[in-house]
């Protein structure tokens, strides 16, 4: 487990059947980051498209904890990260240790994703 900015334990877990990672604090779900997967150009891409943290948990650094652990797990599973979600994209821009495990967002990625979530 990881501690948030208040010193409270935060737990991140993958919920594969809903294709998301969620973060819990005191056994309450505080937020999630959603993804879709596809096999494309010889690799499995995990496309992160939406992240949110409940307002009552704001300011505690939970989005950063959630994204970092989700991306580390994705990399450990041998999947390629695509950051469509603005929060994930901003995290990747600052954390170059993920550079070799990412692909850029392309128009065809967005088109494919829209077909999956609509």
Predicted pLDDT of residue 57: 96
Matching CATH number, 2-117, of 3.40.50.2300, 3.40.630.30, 3.40.50.170, 3.40.50.1110: 3.40.630.30
Q: Which residues contact 54 (CB under 8 A, 6 or more apart)?
A: 29, 30, 31
Q: Residue 15: in which H helix or E strand, if any? A: strand 9-15
pLDDT-derived band of residue 118, with 50, 70 and 90 as boundaries? Answer: confident
pLDDT digits (tens, 9 = 90+) for 32-77: 999 999 999 999 999 999 999 999 999 999 999 999 999 999 999 9
Helices 62-76 & 86-94 angle (0-180, nearest 10): 80
Instruction: Say yes or no to pLDDT of 112 above 80.
Output: yes
Q: Which residues contact 75 (CB under 8 A, 6 or more apart)?
A: 81, 98, 101
Q: What percent of the chain has pLDDT over 70?
A: 99
Q: Taking the model in full, what pTM does it have?
A: 0.95
Residue 57 tokens, joined = 């948990």
Domain residue ranges in the chain? 2-117
């Amino acid at each position: 487990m990881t501690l948030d900015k208040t010193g409270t334990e935060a737990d991140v877990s993958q919920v594969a059947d809903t294709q998301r990672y969620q973060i819990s604090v005191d056994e309450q779900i505080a937020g999630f980051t959603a993804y879709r997967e596809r096999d494309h150009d010889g690799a499995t891409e995990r496309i992160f498209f939406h992240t949110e943290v409940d307002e009552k948990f704001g300011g505690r650094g939970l989005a950063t904890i959630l994204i970092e652990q989700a991306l580390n797990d994705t990399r450990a599973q041998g999947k390629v990260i695509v950051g469509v979600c603005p929060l994930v994209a901003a995290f990747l821009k600052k954390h170059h240790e993920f550079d070799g495990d990412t692909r850029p967002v392309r128009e065809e990625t967005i088109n494919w994703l829209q077909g999956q979530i609509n």
